[in-house]
Every structure is written in structure tokens, then in C-alpha cells.
Amino acid sequence: MEFFERASGARMHTALYRPFAVDSTALTKAYYRDVARFLSRSARALSGSFLGLLNNRALKSRFAGIGQLSASKLFNYGVTGIIARSSGVPTDLRLQRLTGYGAYRNLAFKTFLGRRGDN
């Protein structure tokens, strides 16, 4: 909140009185130093929080099987991408050389194939 206030000029709220404007006088070396100090201090806490959520048995049991669809439902609904792969359908448009989009045809990578859904 402090960094937002310093950059936007707003005080104790997120309503900008200058939409799409940033106070360029606030973006000094001290501002960037304070941001870097905050990030270095918060990395440990964020890492601990992430690991706590990742290893939480209660959350894992509640989220198991969310997004799991049968192959016929996936086809009927037109579902592709990560949801289809997480349900066990081995399709990835990025890996098809003829119909691939963007620069994916120039990249070499493998895709993840799940069995029990995605959340």
C-alpha cells in the first residue's frame, strides 16, 4: 500500500485522483531501494506461505478431482488446452506442427498430461 500511495499520490485509498498518471517525482532511487528491501524481506514469508499451502492435506483433499471431465464431455463442450490435458486427453495444439500457432513450431518442449483433473 505504501508503494502504491507513493507512486500514485493517493493517500490511504486506491481511488486515483489522477487516472493513468504516476507521480514521476516519487520514483526516485530511494523508492526503488525501498521496494527492493521489501521484496528481499518478504521472499522468505511468501516462500513459507506457499509451502504451507502446497503441503496442506485439507486443501489437497478438497481440491482433488476438480475439473475432471470425460473425453466425450470435453469434445461436446469444445474444451482444449490444459483442462483437456489434465483430464487425460493427450491433445496439445501447440505440439501439432501443421496447425500450431505462434512460434511454438520452432520450440522443442514436452507437455504435461494429467489423469485426475486440474484446479
Q: Check: CB of residue 7 under 8 Å from CB of residue 16.
A: no
pTM exceeds 0.75, yes or no: no
- Contact call for residues 21 and 37 (beta carbons, < 8 A): no
> For residues 16, 20, 25 and 29, what is the CA-based torsion angle, rounded to 10 degrees?
100
Summarize pLDDT for 18-38 with one digit per residue, the tens: 556 666 676 788 888 988 988
- In the chain, where are the structural domains located? 2-55, 63-106
- Model pLDDT, residue 98: 66
* Weakly modelled stretches of the chain, pLDDT under 70: 6-24, 26, 97-101, 116-119
| Residues 77, 52: Cα–Cα separation, whole Å | 35
CA 64/CA 89 separation, integer angstroms: 18
Residue with cell 509451502: 51
**Alpha-carbon distance 81 to 87, whole Å?**
10
